[in-house]
Amino acid sequence: MANGSSQGPARRRGDGASGGTPGARPTSRDVARVAGVSQATVSLVLGDKWRGRVSVRTAESVRDAASTLGYRPNLAARNLRLGCTRTALLVVPAITNEFFARVYTGAAALAADHGFGVVVYPSPDGIGPAKNPFASARAALDGVIASSMAAKALSDLRDADLPLVMLDSDPSDREAAACVNLDIGDGIHQVADHLLELGHRRFVHLASAIPSWTFDVRARALAQALAGVAGTSLRTVRAPFDVNAARDVIQHALTEPGARATAVVCDSDILAAGACKAVRRLGLSVPGDVSVTGFDDLALSVAVEPELTTVSLPAERVGERGMSALLALLAGETVSEGDLPVSLVVRGSTAAPSPTSG
């Protein structure tokens, strides 16, 4: 019995893929043995640093061996050796906003492809100063990505001397190492051109009450787009990102003395939903009496009736580009530049003004 029991485990050890005890986790040495290469080569391939140093065939052989053995690198030990965490922080004004959720989706997908993780941090004060959520951000993070905020609002995190990538933010802000923006101004110009072509000349701009670079751009772009067209008028009113608040503001704007506006240009789909409610409360119709446009192309834009004409933003692409910029900064590479294009989606909330609208 003693001899039989000693031989059994020996045979099982010999049959095991890792050459260790039953159930033992495969090591890089096992991968190297199966692939017929050195451990250094395994490290290069699985660390995605093999290009120009080993052949494509060798890289494929290493990856095949790792897959067959079920090998997973010990990232904790690797990060300790390299002095990095492979973790990025994404700071957003609000986690409940669909736009920011889509930004995270894009950033996280690209991060995962490079062995990184993304932690979302909704700033407690919205676009205001974002407190450092870590006892030591430098020890916990490799970099920070912030969307629709000002770099000065991130001073607590900037003190950690981490690379900062700003999304949908002022490109002249020198505190950011890189900036990824949407062509917001062009989006507003597309809205204005569409409404002008329909024949609208009296406009209300339902602007966000949030002081932010991205909303300032929208206001300037709309004023510029209408300035060169004879007979146009533009009035700006503001509301917080709340459907009922937007409804009340527009209801008041449409009942003031004088010729009623025939088009309401809104800074977001949420504000546009409130504007549509205001029009209906006044016994008017969208778009028969008043056309309404949104911005963002959220799921809400097709949930309202009529569906909103709005500007579609590639939010996932924004997150992806932001993560790509951070990876480039960490690698000491050049960050690609250029605003991401946006597009107008024409739906049922806009039409030519009624002949009796004056």
Higher pLDDT, 51 or 335: 335
127-131, 160-164, 199-203, 306-310: least confident range: 127-131
Please report the pLDDT score of residue 355 as a whole number. 79
Fold match flag (2-73 vs 85-182+316-340): no
pLDDT of amino acid 155: 60
Superfamily of domain 184-313: Response regulator (3.40.50.2300)
- Return the pLDDT at 158: 57
Percentage helix, strand, coil for the chain under 3-state DSSP, each rounded to 5:
45, 15, 40
Task: List, for residues 166-185, the tens digit of each pLDDT value.
Answer: 999 888 877 788 999 999 99
Confidence of residue 10 (pLDDT cuts 50, 70, 90): very low
pLDDT (average), residues 115-130: 72
The answer to whether residue 328 scores a pLDDT higher than 60 is yes
Mean pLDDT within 132-147: 66
Give 148 or 300, the one with higher predicted confidence: 300
Report the chain's mean pLDDT, rounded to a whole number.
84
One-letter identity of residue 125: D
How far, in Å, CA of 203 to CA of 234, rounded? 5
HEC string for 79-141: HHHHCCCCEEEEEECCCCCHHHHHHHHHHHHHHHHCCCEEEEEECCCCCCCCCCCCCCHHHHC
Q: How many CB atoms lie within 10 A of CB 95?
A: 13
Decide if pLDDT at 127 tops 60. Answer: no
What gap in Å lies between CA 164 and CA 137, rounded to an integer?
12
pLDDT band at residue 140 using 50, 70 and 90 as cut-offs: low
pLDDT tens-place string over residues 87-100: 898 988 888 889 99
CATH superfamily of 2-73: lambda repressor-like DNA-binding domains (1.10.260.40)
Quote the pLDDT of residue 36.
92
Domain definitions of the chain by residue range = 2-73, 85-182+316-340, 184-313
CATH of region 85-182+316-340: 3.40.50.2300
Structure tokens at 76: 């904790």
Share of the chain above pLDDT 70, in %: 81
The residues pairing with 265 across neighbouring beta strands, listed in sequence order, are: 205, 293
Please compute the mean of the pLDDT values over residues 183-201 and round it to a whole number: 97
266 conformational bin, left if phi > 0, alpha if psi -120 to 50, beta if neither: beta
Report the pLDDT value the prediction gives residue 15, as an integer from 0 to 100: 39
Reading the block at residue 69, the tokens are 């053995």
Asked whether the bond before 73 is cis by omega within 30 degrees of 0, the reply is no
- Distances from the Cα of 214 to the Cαs of 83, 84, 185, 328, in angstroms? 36, 33, 9, 25
Provide the percentage of residues in the chain whose pLDDT is more than 90: 52
